[in-house]
Structures are given as C-alpha cells and as structure tokens.
C-alpha cells in the first residue's frame, strides 16, 4: 500500500498448554472442556489429591489446603451485564434491544475463579465446573484472558462432567489433574502505520487487536487493512487529517499489555504520545474508530439439547459511541445497509467498556467502537470457525467504517465533540 510499516517489538511471558486431562482414582476419565488460561502447569504425570467441593463464590480456600478444590460457577448472562454498564443511545434498525438472554460464557469466564486465593491457601489444583452451558459450547473456551500467570493449574469442565466429579468426591475418591505445557519469554509485535493528511497536527486512530483463538476474534486486522488500502488509494488532498492504523498485540494477555486497568492499545498509546496527546510538538487525535469481530452470524446455545445452533440472524453489533455526535456519525455512515443489526450504546464508565476502543475512550479520544460478542467469541473452533462468518456482512461493516472515518475527517473538531467527564477517565489521568 506504500505505507511505512512500523513495529513495536515487545516481549511476553507465554503460557502454552500441551496436555490437559483429569482422571478419578477409580480409573474414570473426566472430559476436560478447556484449561484455565495462565493458571499454572503440572509435571507431565500430573498431580493427585483428595477433592474438596465449593458451591458458588469462594471466600476462602483453606479447607482445600494440600487438596484439589472443585468450584461450581453458574452462568451469568451478558445481556444483564450490558444493561448495567451501558446507556442505550439507539439502534439500527429501530427497535433492536439487548436480547433477553445471551448464553456466551464471556462474562462468567472473565469473572472467573480466584485462582490466586487458592494458591495462597496452598491448594494443589482447581477444577471449575461451569453450569448452565452445554459441553459443546464450553469446549475450547479461552477464558479468562484478564489474569496473569498464577502458578496453580486449573481446568474448566462442563456441568455433566461436574456431576460425576461431585459424586466421586462424596465417595471419597481422589483426582489426578494434568496440565502439561510450556512457560517461556517470546517476542510479539504491535504493527502500525501513518497515512499523512493535509493537517499533520490532527489524527484519527483506526485500531484493532491481532490475537485470538478463532477467525471471529482476530479478524479485525483484515478490516483495518481494508481501510488502509482504501484511504491510501486516495490522493493526499482528499484527507484532511492523518490516519493512524494500529494493530496491537496482547489482547488475550491484558495483565502483560494493558495499563492501569485499560486494554492492550493502552501500551501503544503510552509508547507513542506524539501521535495523539496534543502536547507541544505532538499531533492531537480528534477521533478513534475500532473494529473487531467482523461478519459474525448468531449462534445460541441450547443447554437442554446439549449444543449451540445458528439462529439465521447476523450477530448483534455492539457499537460504543462516546457522545451523541459520534452516534449520529455512525447512523449516517450505516444508512442504506442491507445487513445491519446494531445496538448503539455509551459506556457507563471507561473501565467497563468492552474491546480495544476502551483505551482510546479512557484517554479522552472520542470513539466509535464496534465490538460484537457472539457466544463463540473466545472459543477454539474447527477450521477457525470460518463457517460462522458471513463475508457480505463483514464487507458492509467495514464499508460503514470507511464512511465513518470519511465523515469524521471532514467534521470540524468542535463538532466531533469530546469524551464526557467520567470518574474512570480522571483516575486514569492520575495514574
């Protein structure tokens, strides 16, 4: 495309599982749905111990010292969380609202289990029983991605397997948990490029993240490249402001790449203030546009039937906008679309906003951020889950953001507006 590719060469401590298994002392094999990311590792032969049951939220793990803690986690619906932490601005088409129940494991997984407290109490390992989600839906979920390496192995199992573990525990049986893998320091890059406009003192940041366990989670990079291709094909005179295209690493290890509770783009912002903070000699970012999870079709888990199935609808596109002006821009940019199912919301506070638009918002940059949350968002899927993506829907989403950036580029800075005063932004500034 003729752009100068720049790289922030970073390092991370990468945890990679190889073998995950759980076996009862009577020889029964328990199906493991997924390892608990960055929990810990065992020797190749695993570790054995008596099992101690915990039902619901655990305050203290002391009774499981030297044993395997078995913790029951009940599914929490995403819709209830979003209603609590967002304010509804509008929808496309009119009348779209939060679904009554969204079975994604995301929020439950992010809330997780306090593995750190179990380690402090001297627990050998933790088995997390995820209730209310089918075994097929839970298989391969990479959750949570918000915790550091704890040094205590843990796994997820589905409710049906959990019942077998509970029964075995009541009969005094022991368990053997194996979570063999590697923990090593590796290199990882954030990639970015600047497309100059006529006004070099003002920028629009277009960002996404590059890592994820499937084609849905990590395809934002394809959208950012499409936008870079389109805008770089125009003459410089057609662009008022410089466009900064950013593909950040580390979204799935936020403890290593986030800053002050903000997501991975916060590291890039910290390293490149000259492109956004507006201080003397620096450019000022007047707006940001974030795209993630393109082309998703909606699937819903049927716990009674034991598997998820497609609904025939496009996945709901969650669109965060920092003020009314930005909402109006998005609605104007999406006008005429044939495939659109979007709910436009404002975050109640920066720290509860989902997606990599969050660090922009927390830094006071007015944003329009797309972050759909399908049930399979964080799930390792056969073939990357490409069969669950609708390329035409993805094309229309990217086209809308091309129009969005074009409209923002033409708008006077005063009309774009600002990020409303909120406590999270103030705390971030103080930190």
CB 269 within 8 A of CB 350: no
Reply yes or no on whether the pLDDT at 32 is more than 80. yes
Q: For the ranges 40-44, 46-50, 257-261, which has the lowest average pLDDT?
A: 257-261
| 266/250 Cα distance (integer angstroms) | 10
pLDDT at 297 over 60: yes
In tens, the pLDDT along 251-262 reads 999 999 999 999
How many other C-beta atoms can be found within 10 angstroms of the C-beta atom of residue 136? 17
Q: What is the pLDDT of residues 69-125, one digit of tens each?
A: 999 999 888 888 888 899 999 999 999 888 777 778 898 888 879 999 999 999 999
Bridge-based pairing state of the strands 367-370 and 284-290: parallel
Half-sphere exposure of 247 (CA within 13 A, CB side): 22
User: pLDDT tens, 210-239?
Assistant: 999 999 999 999 999 999 999 999 999 999
Instruction: Determine the average pLDDT of the residues in 380-396.
Output: 97
| pLDDT digits 0-9 by tens, 404-427 | 999 999 999 999 999 986 544 444
Helix (H) or strand (E) holding 398: helix 391-410
DSSP 62-97: GGGTTSEEEEEEE---HHHHHHHHEEEEEEESTT--
What mean pLDDT is predicted for residues 7-17? 97
- Cβ burial of 3 (10 Å; 0-12, 13-18, 19+) is middle
**The pLDDT of residue 422:** 55
What average pLDDT does this structure show over 46-61?
Answer: 92
Q: What is the pLDDT of residues 144-179, one digit of tens each?
A: 999 999 999 999 999 999 999 999 999 999 999 999
Query: Which neighbouring-strand residues pair with 289?
Result: 206, 368
Q: Where does 25-173 show beta strands of DSSP type E?
A: 29-30, 34-35, 47-55, 68-74, 86-92, 125-131, 154-158
Residues 191-198: what's their mean pLDDT?
98
Convert the pLDDT of each residue in 339-365 to its tens digit: 999 999 999 999 999 999 999 999 999
Share of the chain above pLDDT 90, in %: 88
Query: What pLDDT was estimated at residue 203?
Result: 98
**Tokens coding 425:** 């932004």
Tokens 């929990």 belong to residue? 39
Mean pLDDT of 279-290: 98
User: What's the chain's average pLDDT?
Assistant: 94
- Asked if 192 contacts 6 with a C-beta cutoff of 8 angstroms, the reply is yes
How many Cα neighbours within 13 Å face the side chain of 262?
Answer: 25
**Which residue, 255, 306, 20, is CA-closest to 140?**
20
Q: How far is Cα 372 from Cα 361, in angstroms, rounded to an integer?
A: 17
Confidence (pLDDT) at 58: 87
**Domains identified in the chain and CATH numbers:** 16-85+102-183 (3.50.30.30), 186-429 (3.40.630.10)
State yes or no: pLDDT of 57 exceeds 90: no
Helix or strand (DSSP H, E) at 16: strand 6-24
């Amino acid at each position: 495309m003729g752009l100068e590719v720049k790289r922030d060469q970073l390092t991370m401590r990468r945890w990679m599982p190889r073998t995950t298994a759980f076996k009862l002392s009577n020889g029964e094999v328990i199906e493991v749905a997924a390892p608990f990311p960055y929990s810990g590792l065992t020797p190749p032969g695993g570790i054995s111990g008596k099992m101690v049951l915990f039902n619901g939220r655990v305050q203290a793990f002391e009774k499981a010292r030297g044993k395997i803690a078995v913790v029951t986690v009940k599914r929490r619906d995403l819709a209830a969380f979003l209603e609590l932490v967002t304010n509804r601005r509008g929808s496309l088409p009119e009348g779209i609202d939060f679904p009554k129940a969204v079975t994604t494991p995301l929020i439950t997984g992010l809330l997780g289990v306090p593995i750190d407290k179990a380690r402090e109490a001297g627990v050998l390992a933790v088995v997390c029983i995820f209730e209310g989600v089918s075994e097929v839906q839970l298989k391969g979920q990479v959750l949570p991605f918000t915790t550091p390496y704890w040094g205590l192995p843990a796994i997820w199992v589905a409710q049906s397997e959990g019942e077998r573990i509970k029964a075995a525990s009541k009969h005094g049986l022991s368990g053997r948990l194996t979570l063999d893998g590697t923990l090593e320091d590796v290199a990882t890059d954030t990639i970015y490029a600047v497309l100059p406009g006529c006004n070099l003192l003002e920028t629009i940041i277009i960002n996404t993240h590059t890592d994820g366990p499937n084609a849905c989670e990590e395809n934002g990079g394809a959208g950012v490249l499409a936008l870079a291709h389109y805008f770089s094909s125009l003459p410089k005179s057609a662009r008022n402001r410089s466009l900064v295209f950013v593909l950040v690493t580390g979204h799935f290890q936020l403890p290593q790449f986030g800053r002050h509770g903000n997501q991975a783009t916060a590291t890039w912002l910290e390293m490149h203030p000259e492109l956004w903070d507006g201080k003397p000699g620096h450019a000022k970012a007047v707006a940001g546009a974030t795209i993630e999870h393109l082309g998703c079709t909606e699937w819903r888990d049927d716990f009674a039937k034991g598997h998820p199935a497609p609904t025939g609808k496009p996945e709901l596109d969650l669109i965060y906008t920092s003020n009314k002006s930005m909402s109006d821009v998005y609605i104007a940019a999406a006008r005429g679309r044939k495939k659109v199912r979007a709910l436009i919301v404002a975050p109640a506070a920066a720290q509860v906003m989902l997606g990599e638009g969050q660090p922009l918002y927390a830094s006071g940059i007015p944003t329009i951020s797309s972050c759909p949350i399908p049930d399979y968002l964080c799930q390792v899927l056969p073939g990357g889950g490409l069969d669950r993506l609708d390329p035409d829907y993805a094309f229309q989403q990217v086209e809308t953001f091309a129009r969005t950036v074009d409209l923002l580029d033409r708008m006077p800075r005063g009309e774009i507006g600002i990020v409303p005063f909120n406590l999270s932004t103030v705390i971030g500034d103080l930190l």
